[in-house]
Amino acid sequence: MTRALLVIDVQKDFCPGGALAVEEGDVIVPGINALMTDFPAVLLTQDWHPAGHSSFATSHEGKSPFDLIDMSYGPQVLWPDHCIQGSLGAQFHPDLTVDRADLILRKGYNPDIDSYSAFFENDHTTPTGLEGYLRTRGIDDLTLVGLATDFCVNFSAVDAAKLGFKVTVRSDLCRGIDLGGSMQAALESMAEAQVTIT
């Protein structure tokens, strides 16, 4: 069994001062760096949106950040413009040990569909390619950390479990947004998928 640490979206825009800041999003960085040394493989995900992405509130006239709309693939939260390709906000937190990563997976680059999960876009069918990468490396045990607990960490963990990976989420090294009860819903979703939360 080969283990990997999957670090979700620890980027400037999700940290205090960023466009979609998660409270205490920067506090978890030293702990994540320390944890990297315990794993034979480290993988990072990076939210990577083109300007004018369909998940941005500014792309929908009369809509505000955090409004919920129906897209062709289902419900979609509208976000402030964030993690735009090549922008400062899309960069990893400056203290994150990026050089330790075996792989950096960029997601959310399709302008027509958002991608919370590291495994699938929000239609839940279009793969990112991460599953194939993990399988070919013989990795079947994943520990997830990062931002945000109730969105990208949650969706990634649930998808990984559904794909048959052993999945642990280190809740002390995650932080959430908690949008309308989304934290509780995420914890229930992960528990139902038999994700271990420590």
Residue 63 known to be catalytic: no
Distance of CA 30 to the CA centre of its chain: 18
Count of CB atoms situated within 10 Å of the CB of 94: 10
The Cα–Cα gap between 89 and 91 comes to 5
User: One-letter amino acid identity for 176?
Assistant: G
Distance of CA 94 to the CA centre of its chain: 18
CB 178 within 8 A of CB 66: no
Residue 152 known to be catalytic: yes
User: One-letter amino acid identity for 156?
Assistant: S
Catalytic residue among 26, 152, 159, 174: 152
Residue 9 known to be catalytic: yes
Catalytic residue among 107, 114, 150, 159: 107
CA–CA distances in Å: residue 151 to residues 40, 86, 137, 148: 26, 23, 26, 6
CB 4 within 8 A of CB 134: yes
Catalytic residue among 9, 26, 114, 150: 9
Question: What is the Rg, in whole angstroms, of the alpha carbon atoms belonging to the chain?
Answer: 16
Which active-site residues does the annotation give? 9, 107, 152
